[in-house]
Amino acid sequence: MPAAARRTLVLGGARSGKSAHAEGLLPAGAAMRYLATGRRRPDDPEWSARIDAHQARRPASWQTVETGDLAGELGRATDASVLVDDLATWLTGVLDDTGGWDGGAAELAVAGAQVDALVRAVGGCSTRLVLVSAEVGLGVIPATRAGRLFRDELGALNARLAEVCDEVLLLVAGIPLRLR
C-alpha cells in the first residue's frame, strides 16, 4: 500500500478473497470499526452461516457495527480505522428499503441520494478506511431486469468510490491486482 493511501477500495468477484484481503490490510491489534452491511434473514441459514464465518475471522478487539447507515457511521468516525464489508449487500438493502427494484424514478432518486451521501462521506473520511465491494462488470449481462439494475447501480457506485479512493485493488483468484 502506498504510504499516502488513506482510503482503499477492494473489489472482487464472489469468493475471490476480497473480504479476507481487506481485513489483512489493517493491523489486527489496532482500534478498528467494522461496518457490516449484511442483514440476517431468519429463513436463510446459509446466509447466516456466511455472516458467522466473517464474524469468527475478525479479531476480538474489532468493534462490529451492523448498519445500513454507512454515511452516518463514517461521519461519526473516530481515530479508529474503518472497514466496510460490503457495498453490494449495502446497495441491496438500499434498493429493498426504497422500493428501487421496480426502477421507478422516485425510488431510484431516493436510492441515489443515499449513494451520493455515501460517496461524500467516503471522500471526507479522514481516518484509514477500507471498503469492500463486488466487481460485477466482468460477467454476462443478467437475464432479469432486477439483475441488470443491480449490476448497473453497483458498477456506477464502484466507479464513483474509485474516484475518491487513494488505492483501488481487484482480487482475482485470491490474488490482489493494484489498479491504483
Element (H or E) spanning 84, and its range? strand 81-85
CA atoms within 13 A of residue 22's CA, in its CB half-sphere: 33
| CA atoms of 110 and 96, how far apart (whole Å) | 12
Q: Are strands 7-12 and 167-172 parallel, antiparallel or unpaired?
A: parallel
Q: At what angle do helices 105-124 and 87-98 cross, to 10 degrees?
A: 140
| Catalytic pick among 16, 54, 74, 176 | 54
How many other C-beta atoms lie within 10 A of the C-beta of residue 127?
15
- Is-catalytic flag, 21? no
What's the gap between Cα 97 and its chain centre? 17
| CA atoms of 134 and 129, how far apart (whole Å) | 17
| CA atoms of 135 and 155, how far apart (whole Å) | 7
Q: What residues are annotated to the active site?
A: 54
